[in-house]
């Protein structure tokens, strides 16, 4: 250890240190008041009283009133849960609060077959692979007396496409679909065919298996139920193919739900024109013409009344104007920058609320359970002056009165001079829904020249499970049939060299254009009014070399195949579309998969339809008996 140095002359060292320059300095601020009396300074005197008067006039302080801020409030609420749900004109069932309402209303059966052509290969392979894994797991655990996988593969196999079969033209005409189908033919289990077999009689779905023991039958039955439950968990669809809310005639969803009102009646909420893809309270109206859905109310005493006490809290939001003069608001939200049109009533109301009456609103928080109806009977408010007021809903009165002002409430339909409904309907709606690409899409347009409506299949489902532009699919189908009959087509002699004109019987229309012709339906009323509806028709598939009778071109999308694929026990029937549902701008209808995650973490995937406005009129070019000039060169 080194020795510590000893400084013998400390004063000389300090003098040498202070002689060196340094940047360290100290500064002190001291107040020097002119007087020791602060009374005048606390007065906050203003030297220009005229400026103060003008500022008070600008801020509206001369228009004051004797109102006091609320200090305490009591609210009386009537709570009623929704008990029943009815899709379209089907039977009513119990209301399910554990499922998103969009999934219940929008779900449609997943088509595994379109006419005589099998489709949805991707879903069928997914289900078949799951069943194969279940069989292998059961066989490994020695649950069956033998390996059943080869027998299921033989019974539920994906058949090899037959190029000579015209009924499979929707598969053979498209090379990508044919390649995918041929790649798995006779190699994979068709899960779609197995699901259709399971939908039949429970005791005979595996009758093709011989030599099963009693334990094999029991375990195979349980395995089939587990397979059905797994598929139902993957895709949320109606158990019965006809049990859905889609109204094909109106191109919209129709659903209703109800809540007990009295011992003999229910309050019925009807959504008869829902097609936006986001279902909420504004899609429903109170229908007073219906007193109950299905049977009478099961639990008329379900309505309960609660009285709650609150401390009112002023409403605050981003960009809210501050009522103090010398305080600046956050510039991220600028209500003054909103530029509404003369018809934007909602924007004008928002600006007026945010800029003028923001500090006049108070919040009384209350958590409302989903799937219920809440009605505020009244509110007792005590202000800071000790005054107490009983406040009722501002929208009381007749529903058709133009003087009343309401928000978040349903309109009332059914009878004239009906009291307004001031209840709040809180539905179990999905917070956010993910939408996939359209599997099929149609456009309904008006063709004034041909005097009909066309249903254009802009996107058609391929047998492989993907969607394809309808124009390309129609072109490939046309090439398939022309190539098939080109050797049988007779040679048409060219016109004489001196011919100036030629006669054309009918022009051609692409196969993805499905005609809808106007028909009159006689109505049985006193005035004998005839109503026009649009009936789906068919064009003939005529190519050189074909012989009569000619086949009719049928649509390939499930949206336009209504009535062509009958359910068990029902025959084929014509398909009508209401004439008023196809405006001059046309209408676009698309079907795609929807996905959302619910409150308990479960994932719901369903097949839904959305309708939007079209792009205007169109022309198919359909014409008959034309005389055309002969082109130069023969």
Report DSSP state, residue 300: G
Banded model confidence at residue 263, pLDDT cuts 50, 70, 90: low
**pLDDT (tens digit per residue) in 35-63:** 777 787 777 676 777 777 887 787 777 77
pLDDT of residue 610: 93
- Span of 71-75, 353-357, 591-595, 630-634 with lowest mean pLDDT: 630-634
pLDDT of residue 527: 54
Q: What percent of the chain has pLDDT over 90?
A: 25
Q: Is residue 64 pLDDT above 70, yes or no?
A: no
Can you read off the two tokens belonging to residue 96?
Answer: 């399910």
Q: Is residue 24 pLDDT above 60, yes or no?
A: yes
Helices (H) and strands (E) in the chain, counts: 11, 27
Average pLDDT over residues 246-269: 87
Cα 514 from chain centroid? Answer: 26
CA distances from 517 to 86, 372, 538, 578 (A): 32, 45, 10, 12
Cβ atoms 533, 576 nearer than 8 A: yes
Non-local (6+) Cβ contacts of 443 within 8 A are: 455, 456, 458, 586, 587, 588, 589, 614, 615
**pLDDT (tens digit per residue) in 237-248:** 888 777 788 999
Distance from C-alpha of 157 to C-alpha of 168, rounded to nearest angstrom: 17
**pLDDT (tens digit per residue) in 583-610:** 999 999 999 999 999 988 999 999 999 9
DSSP state letters, 512-556: TEEEEEEEEEE--STT--EEEEEEE---B---TT--SSPPBPPP-
**pLDDT (tens digit per residue) in 296-355:** 655 555 678 888 888 888 888 877 777 666 666 776 777 777 888 878 888 888 888 777
The pairing of strands 624-629 and 501-506 is: antiparallel
Q: Is residue 444 pLDDT above 90, yes or no?
A: yes
Max mean pLDDT among 239-243, 284-288, 629-633 falls in 284-288
* Of 298, 368, 369, the residue nearest 94 (C-alpha): 298
Banded model confidence at residue 634, pLDDT cuts 50, 70, 90: very low
CA atoms within 13 A on the CB side of 492: 7
Average pLDDT over residues 98-111: 91
Q: What percent of the chain has pLDDT over 70?
A: 88
Banded model confidence at residue 629, pLDDT cuts 50, 70, 90: confident
Banded model confidence at residue 380, pLDDT cuts 50, 70, 90: very high
Non-local (6+) Cβ contacts of 276 within 8 A are: 283, 610
pLDDT of residue 412: 85
Per-state percent for the chain, helix, strand, coil, to nearest 5: 25, 25, 50
Cβ atoms 301, 77 nearer than 8 A: no
Can you read off the two tokens belonging to residue 389?
Answer: 């007021």
Can you read off the two tokens belonging to residue 238?
Answer: 């109606």
E strand or H helix at 268: strand 266-274
CA distances from 556 to 34, 167, 222, 258, 469 (A): 95, 12, 37, 38, 12
Cβ atoms 592, 277 nearer than 8 A: no
Question: What burial class does residue 32 get, using C-beta atoms within 10 Å of its C-beta: 0-12 exposed, 13-18 middle, 19+ buried?
Answer: exposed
**pLDDT (tens digit per residue) in 455-481:** 999 999 988 888 899 999 999 999 998
SS3 assignment, position 621: coil
- State the CB neighbour count (10 A cutoff) for residue 542: 14
- Span of 256-270, 456-470, 575-589, 607-621 with lowest mean pLDDT: 256-270
CA distances from 439 to 242, 275, 329 (A): 20, 17, 49
Cβ atoms 461, 556 nearer than 8 A: yes
The radius of gyration computed from the CA coordinates of the chain, to the nearest angstrom, equals 38
- Length of the chain equals 634
- State the CB neighbour count (10 A cutoff) for residue 151: 15
Average pLDDT over residues 507-512: 89
């Amino acid at each position: 250890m080194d020795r510590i140095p000893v400084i013998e002359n400390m004063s000389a060292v300090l003098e040498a240190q202070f002689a060196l320059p340094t940047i360290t300095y100290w500064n002190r601020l001291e107040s020097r008041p002119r007087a020791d009396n602060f009374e005048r300074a606390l007065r906050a005197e203003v030297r220009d009283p005229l400026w103060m008067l003008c500022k008070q006039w600008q801020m509206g302080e001369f228009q004051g009133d004797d109102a006091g801020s609320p200090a305490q409030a009591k609210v009386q609420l009537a709570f009623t849960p929704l008990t029943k749900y009815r899709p379209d004109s089907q039977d009513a069932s119990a209301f399910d609060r554990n499922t998103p309402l969009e999934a219940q209303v929008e779900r449609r059966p997943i088509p595994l077959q379109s006419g005589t052509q099998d489709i949805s290969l991707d879903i069928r392979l997914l289900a078949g692979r799951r069943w194969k894994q279940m069989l292998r797991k059961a066989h490994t655990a020695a649950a069956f007396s033998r390996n059943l996988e080869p027998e299921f593969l033989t019974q539920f196999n994906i058949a090899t496409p037959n190029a000579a079969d015209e009924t499979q033209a929707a598969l053979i005409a498209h090379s990508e679909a044919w390649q995918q189908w041929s790649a798995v033919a006779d190699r994979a289990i068709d899960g779609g065919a197995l699901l259709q077999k399971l939908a039949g009689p429970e005791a005979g779905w595996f009758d093709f298996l011989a030599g099963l023991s009693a334990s094999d039958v029991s375990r195979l039955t349980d395995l089939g139920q587990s397979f059905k439950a797994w598929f139902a968990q993957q895709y949320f669809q109606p158990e019965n193919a006809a049990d859905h809310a889609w109204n094909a005639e109106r191109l919209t969803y129709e659903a209703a739900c109800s809540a007990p009102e009295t011992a003999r009646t229910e309050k019925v909420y009807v959504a008869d024109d829902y097609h936006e893809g986001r279902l909420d309270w504004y899609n429903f109206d109170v229908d007073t013409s219906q007193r109950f859905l299905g049977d009478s109310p099961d639990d008329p005493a379900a309505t309960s009344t609660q009285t709650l006490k609150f401390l009112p809290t002023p409403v605050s939001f981003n960009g809210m104007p501050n009522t103090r003069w010398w305080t600046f608001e956050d510039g991220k939200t600028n209500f003054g920058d909103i530029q509404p049109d003369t018809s934007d009533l909602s924007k004008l109301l928002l600006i007026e609320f945010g800029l003028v009456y923001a500090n006049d609103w108070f919040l009384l928080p209350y958590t409302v359970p989903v799937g219920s109806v809440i009605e505020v009977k009244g509110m007792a408010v005590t202000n800071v002056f000790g005054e107490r007021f009983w406040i009722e809903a501002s929208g009381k009165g007749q529903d058709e009165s133009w003087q009343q002002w309401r928000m978040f409430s349903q309109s009332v339909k059914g009878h004239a001079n009906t009291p307004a409904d001031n209840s709040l309907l809180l539905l179990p709606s999905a917070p956010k829904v993910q939408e996939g690409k359209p599997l099929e899409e149609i456009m309904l347009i008006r063709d004034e020249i041909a005097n009909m409506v066309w249903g254009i299949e802009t996107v058609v489902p391929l047998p492989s499970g993907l969607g394809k532009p309808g124009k390309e699919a129609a072109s490939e189908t046309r090439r398939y049939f022309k190539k098939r009959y080109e050797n049988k087509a007779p040679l048409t002699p060219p016109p004489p060299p001196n011919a100036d004109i030629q006669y054309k019987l009918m022009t051609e229309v692409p196969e993805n254009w499905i005609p809808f012709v106007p028909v009159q339906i006689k109505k049985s009323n006193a005035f004998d009014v005839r109503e026009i509806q649009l009936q789906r028709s068919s064009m003939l598939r005529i190519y050189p070399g074909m012989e009569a009778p000619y086949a009719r071109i049928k649509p390939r999308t499930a949206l336009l195949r209504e009535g062509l694929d009958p359910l068990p026990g029902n025959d084929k029937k014509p398909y009508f579309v209401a004439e008023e549902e196809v405006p001059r701008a046309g209408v676009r209808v698309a079907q795609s998969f929807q996905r959302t995650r619910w409150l308990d973490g479960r994932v719901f995937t369903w097949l839904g339809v959305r309708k939007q406005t079209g792009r205007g009129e169109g022309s198919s070019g359909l014409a008959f008996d034309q005389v055309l000039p002969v082109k130069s060169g023969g």
